[in-house]
């Protein structure tokens, strides 16, 4: 195996066609129970446990988890959730050091997505495209650095409680979404942090706000990925509104995996797009 793409489960991809790929799970810990974010995770059971738990938290993959996923590939592209909010990136860096020490002829390129979910998917799919073109590893890495200058993530959330509970946003910011029917629209900042753009009353206004923000960020007609937590209806509406506003053909929708479901909470929407 020459090339392999590896990402943590925050990307919401369990599998990938055409190029060797592994997803390395994060963990959602609800009271004593460890929900491992892999193909077997029962998200409904997790949501039920969350509804009545005393405490919940998350944990990033360990160094050994990453090394196992690198397997025996010669050139590995490893895409992590934003280093500003998770230790996953640091743990992947440690894995790279160990792996390259064990196999001096191999190389691991780590890509800090400074984002999550759908924007990670765009990066993974771009890597796949470049690998299929049989480009050299260093050239692929350079291209992908350039590519990530032109991808963005917007989100619309009903609750920021789990983000605040785990210290990923301040309690003051989380309170913005505390009122029934209020949604917070924001973006992954260029530093990989949550940046709140506005507070919207009702889902429809939040969707309009997201489309407007896409325009402001310079979106024209690139690829779009939408991920939602149990909100297929809003994801479909968002897709239609994007199609009405821009001449876009490539939009895909999926349900978030466990990690993004936990933090985006019920009804949460994430949209990643290329400019
Ligand atoms: O290491 C860990 O325990 C994982 C921590 C992850 C924390 C953030 C997850 C965010 C998931 C929520 C809305 C989008 C925010 C995007 C900001 C970059 C999705």
pLDDT at 164: 95
Read off the pLDDT of each residue in 124-152 and give the average, rounded to a whole number: 97
Which domain, by its residues, includes 180? 150-274
Q: What is the mean pLDDT of the chain?
A: 97
Read off the pLDDT of each residue in 139-157 and give the average, rounded to a whole number: 98
Q: 111 alpha carbon to ligand 1 midpoint, in Å? A: 16
Please tell me whether residues 131 and 175 are part of one structural domain: no
Burial class (CB in 10 A: 0-12, 13-18, 19+), 39: exposed
Pairing label, strands 224-228, 251-255 = parallel
Whether the per-residue pLDDT at 206 is higher than 90: the answer is yes
Q: In the numeric block, which tokens belong to residue 86?
A: 């998770």
**Distance (Å, rounded) from C-alpha 271 to C-alpha 134?**
29
Domain count, the chain: 2
Q: What is the CATH number of the domain that holds 217?
A: 3.30.1180.10
**Distance (Å, rounded) from C-alpha 245 to C-alpha 220?**
9
User: What backbone torsions phi and psi does residue 106 show, to the nearest 5 degrees?
Assistant: -100, 165
Per-residue pLDDT tens over the stretch 59-95 = 999 999 999 999 999 999 999 999 999 999 999 999 9
- Which pTM value belongs to this model? 0.98
Q: What is the CATH number of the domain that holds 59?
A: 3.40.50.10170
Read off the pLDDT of each residue in 36-42 and give the average, rounded to a whole number: 98
Q: Which strands make up the sheet holding 56-59, listed edge to edge? A: 33-36, 27-30, 56-59
Query: Can you tell me which atom of ligand 1 is nearest the CA of 192?
Result: 18
Q: 177 alpha carbon to ligand 1 midpoint, in Å? A: 16
Whether the per-residue pLDDT at 178 is higher than 80: the answer is no
Whether the per-residue pLDDT at 248 is higher than 90: the answer is no
Cβ–ligand 1 distance for 260 under 6 Å, the answer: yes
Q: 8 alpha carbon to ligand 1 midpoint, in Å? A: 12
């Amino acid at each position: 195996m020459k090339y392999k793409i590896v990402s943590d489960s925050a990307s919401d991809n369990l599998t990938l066609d055409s190029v060797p790929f592994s997803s390395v799970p994060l963990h959602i810990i609800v009271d004593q129970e460890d929900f491992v974010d892999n193909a077997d995770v029962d998200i409904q059971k997790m949501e039920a446990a969350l509804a009545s738990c005393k405490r919940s938290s998350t944990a990033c993959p360990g160094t050994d988890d990453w090394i196992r996923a690198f397997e025996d590939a010669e050139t590995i592209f490893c895409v992590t959730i934003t280093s500003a909010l998770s230790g996953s990136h640091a743990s992947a860096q440690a894995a790279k050091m160990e792996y390259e020490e064990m196999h001096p002829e191999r190389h691991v390129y780590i890509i800090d997505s400074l984002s999550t979910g759908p924007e990670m998917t765009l990066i993974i799919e771009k890597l796949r495209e470049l690998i299929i073109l049989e480009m050299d590893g260093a050239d692929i890495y350079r291209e992908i650095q350039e590519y990530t200058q032109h991808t963005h993530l917007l989100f619309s959330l009903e609750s920021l409680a789990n983000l605040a509970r785990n210290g990923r946003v301040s309690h003051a910011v989380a309170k913005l979404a505390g009122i029934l029917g209020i949604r917070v629209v924001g973006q992954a900042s260029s530093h990989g942090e949550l940046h709140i753009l506005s507070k919207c009353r009702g889902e429809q206004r939040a969707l309009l706000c997201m489309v407007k923000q896409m325009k402001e960020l310079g979106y024209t007609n690139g690829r779009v990925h939408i991920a939602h937590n149990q909100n297929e209806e809003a994801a479909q509406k968002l897709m239609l509104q994007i199609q009405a506003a821009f001449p876009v053909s490539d939009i895909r929708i999926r349900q978030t995996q466990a990690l993004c479901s936990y933090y985006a909470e019920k009804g949460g929407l994430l949209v990643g797009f290329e400019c």
